[in-house]
Amino acid sequence: MSDIAAAATGVLQSVPSMLLFRRCEPVPDAAASEAMFRTDGLSHEGEAAGPRRRSIRRLCKWAGKILIVPVIGLAIALTNNNCSFPHTSRAEFDSRLDSAIERALRWLNDHSVEAETNASLMYMVTDMERLHGDARLRATLDDFLTNPEIVNPLEPLDRVWPRMVHPEATVPTIGQAALRGEGFEYRWDAYAIAPQQVLLSDEDRAAMFSPTQHRWGIRDDQLLALVMYRHFNGSSDTLDRTINHLSEKVALTAHWDIRVTDFYIQRSAFVLAAGRPDLVRRRWIERILEYQLPDGSWNPCWHGWCRSVFDFDFNGRRLHDHPTVQAAWALYMLKYKYSSWIAQHYR
């Protein structure tokens, strides 16, 4: 009995200490419990988001690798279009220039009728003949003036073109009604040759002399028209400023357009005709020389890619008269008018 009493007494003595111990244990705070729950949830989301982040990083990495190829290609193409690395001596360049001019003149002599249908090209031929007389150029001009299918007295504008060859040629008055069916470049060129006789509308005249209205190829045609106007009517401060401004814009386009098309050739030709050889890069002329065909002509398209961005011809059906006359004109001006440009770039 005494043993039972002793055991009971021990249990009763231990109860207060057990209660005291449980009162001293930290009770979890509600906010702490919520924070622990949120932390645990984020860890699961992070585990889920990790693969997504890695996939996005891989995608960006592959996209960068894909995009770097055309970027490098464009950089190489622009460098090739604007920079000359191999050294070419003056003697070598002169030889290439003379050969290119001779082959171009032979082609023009054999295909003169093709070129004669375009009055702007005949202005270039006239200027070439004036810079350095050549019997083949004179024969082309004579044929141009006497061919009734090309210079038709019944066509109003056809009575303007003889003045390109003979400044004293008579031009009748041509009203606006007769000009409506003509393209803007023909209206501009005719007015440039005979502004007193060709009654250009105020709108057309404003467009012709505007320094900022036109872009791309139209600006090239505008520059040529103003060069012709200055040739036949003399210069002025305003006209010279406009021509210089347009020349700089045309040259800027030449920096970026790597396609050796009809447009590519005419930019160098028109800028030279405007009296700004300082804007013409050596590499542009070298590329023109490189792309002359064995028969002496130039293709208006570059690997099937033609004048405008969405203009293609993979069958080679385009006529070669336009780029060939323009290329010959540019090379002629370098040889007979801007020999200082050659001396500056080739020694």
Query: Is 42 among the domain residues?
Result: no
> What CATH number is associated with residue 191?
1.50.10.10
Helix axes 216-233, 202-209, angle to 10 degrees: 100
Query: Is 1 among the domain residues?
Result: no
Identity of the residue numbered 62: W
pLDDT at 178: 87
pLDDT at 95: 97
Spacing of C-alpha 215 from chain mean position: 11
pLDDT at 87: 82
Q: How far apart are CA 58 and CA 174, in angstroms?
A: 69
Q: How far apart are CA 333 and CA 120, in angstroms?
A: 16
Which residue's structure tokens are 């060129």?
A: 189
Give the structural domain span for 197. Answer: 89-345
pLDDT at 20: 35
Query: Is 41 among the domain residues?
Result: no
Number of domains observed in the structure of the chain: 1
Q: How far apart are CA 221 and CA 326, in angstroms?
A: 13
* C-alpha torsion sign, points 138, 140, 143, 145: negative
Q: Which two tokens stand for residue 97?
A: 């220039």
Query: Is 52 among the domain residues?
Result: no
- Which residues are CB-contacts of 15 (< 8 A; sequence separation ≥ 6)? none
pTM over 0.85: no
27: burial class by Cβ within 10 Å (0-12, 13-18, 19+)?
exposed
pLDDT at 195: 96
Query: Is 101 among the domain residues?
Result: yes
pLDDT at 48: 52
Q: How far apart are CA 227 and CA 83, in angstroms?
A: 28
pLDDT at 231: 97
Q: How far apart are CA 144 and CA 121, in angstroms?
A: 11
Q: Which residues of the chain have pLDDT under 50?
A: 1-28, 30-44
Q: How far apart are CA 7 and CA 180, in angstroms?
A: 128
Query: Is 103 among the domain residues?
Result: yes
- Which residues are CB-contacts of 208 (< 8 A; sequence separation ≥ 6)? 188, 191, 200, 222, 225, 226
Identity of the residue numbered 96: R
Q: How far apart are CA 108 and CA 265, in angstroms?
A: 16
